[in-house]
Structure 1
Amino acid sequence: MQVSDRHVMVDLNKGHRKFYVDFDVSAEGGGEFDVLVVNQTQLDQVGPAKLALRTVRDTTSGNVRADSDDYQDYYLILRSGTPRTLTIKTRLTPLTEASSSATPPLSAATDEMVGASTTSGLLSFFRIRTWSDLPSSRIFWIVIALIVVLVLWCVFWKSRSGASSSSDAFVSVEDDDGREMYRAPLSFSDRASDDGGASVHSTATGTSPLSQAVQRFLSSQPVTAEN
């Protein structure tokens, strides 16, 4: 490359946002030349005329590494008071894709990653289940199971209630001194008393034909306690 007293700029990153580049510059036949590495922001702030280039003799080398998310153009600026030929070698290693490549919009990227069948499958998987989603046979067996549980609960409750009432009712026959001479469980209740001192006791209320018969018998046959 021919250089003179006018600035020559060499593009280092070639459109890459994140990159690593090293370079070598040598003057054919030797001699002095000026060199500087700047980015676009520095170049805009100072201007080419006010750049402070460094003077080197015969050859120079350097490297630049950029890993920022903000894109910047990087330049190797060369100049020589005496026109001469410079040999420039650069080795660029991109760390990411070139910044000039357009990022696809979100909708397009989503369509590429998730196809129509995949999308419908996800919606079906996360859809709220309702009774209409269940097979008719499954609904039938669920209803049958609920009915069976309800019937068993009613039978159990009725058996407990019957056992409690039957265990509480009884007939007790006492003598004049209050000593119990006879006691028997009943499914009904009653209370009666006669002049002979015998009595029938029950914890529940109501009178049945059997209770009335017992009362008449005790009334006609006074009980005498044995000593």
Structure 2
Amino acid sequence: MKKTGLLFLSLLFYTLTGFGISLTIAANVGVSSFNALNLSLAGLFAVKVGTMTTIVNLCFLMLYIYLTKAKKPLAYLIQAIAVLSLGFVINFFTYQVFDAIQITHYASKLGLFMLGSIVAGLGTGMVLNLKTLAFPIESVCVEISNNHPIPFVKLRYGIDIFSVTISIIISVASSLPFVVREGTIISLVLLTFTISLTKKVFEAFIVKNNGL
């Protein structure tokens, strides 16, 4: 498949990730670690969560630009477009589509959260599999890991721990609702499982069809 086709697919799965994130927010049983940070910051500064997600991702993108000494302008531009699209999708579904939906049954909330986690995991997994577009956080972690004796996994989990910690601090200090809840724990398992499963299925597809 041509690079333009891969880029289009990557952007499509990027936005699918945003849709999945919106589902987990609508479930109201907590969100994943990184989204907990974005949701708490959004509440603290009274902005939409998709907008805050874009801002935080752009901060990581700026860090990535600094780490790579601004040598990949096209990659930066594509990532910027992707994170702007992600924020737009999250805002659209969170505030325009799901805002009027009220779910009171706890089992239904859990079901919706699990569906959202699976969708987000599928989107994220496919973006990683296509290797055409990257998430700024992963790009930063890869760059640091390549230049320092720190494993990528430790860096990524470090960001998750930092995100959860800051989210809790904001909730306590500002009397905002806690978004680090049972959903946060579920997402640790379900997101990882979905991304891993997506990778296995994708690799099997590539082998069967002799590449893209």
The normalised TM-score by structure 2 is: 0.20
**Greater RCO between the two (CA within 8 Å, min separation 6)?**
2
**Structure of greater Rg:** 1
| Larger strand percent | 1
